[in-house]
Amino acid sequence: MTTLHTASYALQRQKLAVERTLYARSTEESLLAARWASAWHKLVQRKLDQDLAARMPQGFLLRPTSRVLH
């Protein structure tokens, strides 16, 4: 799988986790879904940063917060 394909899949999973957080029937279910949403968000960010780093010339320094989805 390509990096962008993986990021797209992770973004879809993050969306589902956020929806589960919003429509949870209990506090515990909501907290668990929120943790999953956070984990998927971190994966999306990492994959986008990897893709950007792969496109940059060698020796180019990249700040860790280069692409933020908020």
Domain boundaries of the chain, sorted by first residue: 3-55
CB atoms within 10 A of CB 7: 21
Distance CA 4, CA 38 (A): 19
Binning pLDDT at 50, 70 and 90, where does residue 57 land?
confident
pLDDT of res. 26: 95
Amino acid identity of residue 28, one-letter, is: E
Q: Helices in the chain by DSSP H: which ranges? A: 3-22, 27-55
Q: C-alpha angle with apex 55: 63 to 10, nearest 5 degrees?
A: 75
* pLDDT at residue 66 greater than cutoff 80: no
This prediction has a pTM of 0.69
Distance CA 58, CA 27 (A): 47
User: What average pLDDT does this structure show over 2-18?
Assistant: 87
